[in-house]
Amino acid sequence: MRASPTTALLMLAVALSAGACRQDMHDQPRYEPLEASSFFDNGMSSRPLVEGTVAREMPIEKTAFYTGRTPNDEFVTELPMPLDRELLDRGRTRFNAFCSPCHGQTGDGLGMIVRRGFKQPTSFHDQRLRESPVGYFFHVMSNGFGQMSSYASQVPPQDRWAIAAYISALQLSHNIPVDRLSAEERQQLDDSIVGSAEAHPRAGEE
């Protein structure tokens, strides 16, 4: 039997349009991350962690790396890892993403969210915070502080230390005696102060 041209065309059209149909392979009987489920009571396919669950890489004993504290419960004053350029760079990107919305890029506590009405935190360049040990910053990020929530679920421990290291660098950068700068750097500083006073007239008044 030979198909007439019309039948052939019709078959072609059916084949082409059937090819565009969504079929079972598009939506297979498995869950994607965060997909809703009608099986469980709360509608989530991902199950909540059993209370007391620890991550596989977490040690049983509480080291300074996870608590920011020494064995006799004081905040550590040194980073539990070597400080290098890479750690500071990492800290800078994480600080700018997670902290600067409120604490500001320089740590002055005047971030965008604060300008929109969030409680204003103390500047990191305040005397009290300049003298706080690095473990204190790790502790605040891990457990929250007053109106600030914990960032433990958003920032893993390694990155929290990187941020703490970067905050120390920020504090240092704001408190270098002028006579420790080279002549060139002093010139740059003068230029930038003039520049920023022009850009933000209010800065000059303070």
Partner 1 sequence: MSQIFKPSTNTLARVTLFGALFFALVSVWILVSLNRSAYATRQTIVRMQPVPFSHDHHTEAMGISCLYCHTSAEDSAFAGVPPTATCMNCHKLIWNDSPMLEPVRASFRSGEPIQWARVHDLPDFVYFNHSIHIAKGVGCVTCHGRVDKMPLMKQAVSLQMEWCLECHRAPQDFVRPRSEIYNMEWEAEDQAALGAKLVEQYDIQSMMSCSVCHR
Which residues here bind partner 1, judged by CB under 8 A? 5, 9, 12-13, 16-17, 20, 25-28, 30, 32-34, 36, 42-44, 93, 96-98, 100-101, 112-113, 116-119, 147, 149, 153-154
Q: Which of 64, 110, 148, 169 is close enough to bind ligand HEC by CB under 6 A?
A: 148
Tokens encoding 114: 């604060």
Q: Which is nearer to ligand HEC, 5 or 19 (CB)?
A: 19
- Please report, to the nearest 10 degrees, the dihedral formed by the alpha carbons of residues 53, 57, 60, 61 taken in order: -130
User: 123 with 106: CB under 8 angstroms?
Assistant: no
E-only strand ranges, the chain: none
As to burial, measured by CB atoms within 10 angstroms (0-12 exposed, 13-18 middle, 19+ buried), residue 130 is middle
Q: Return the range that interacts with ligand HEC (CB under 6 A); candidates 5-13, 57-65, 95-103, 198-206.
A: 95-103
Amino acid at 37: S
> How many beta carbons lie within 10 A of that of residue 18, not counting itself?
9
- Partner from partner 1, ligand HEC, none contacting 122, C-beta within 5 to 8 A by type: ligand HEC
Q: Which of 69, 76, 103, 104 is close enough to bind ligand HEC by CB under 6 A?
A: 103
Binding site for ligand HEC (CB under 6 A): 98-99, 101-103, 113, 116, 118-119, 121-122, 129, 137, 140-141, 145-148, 151, 155, 163
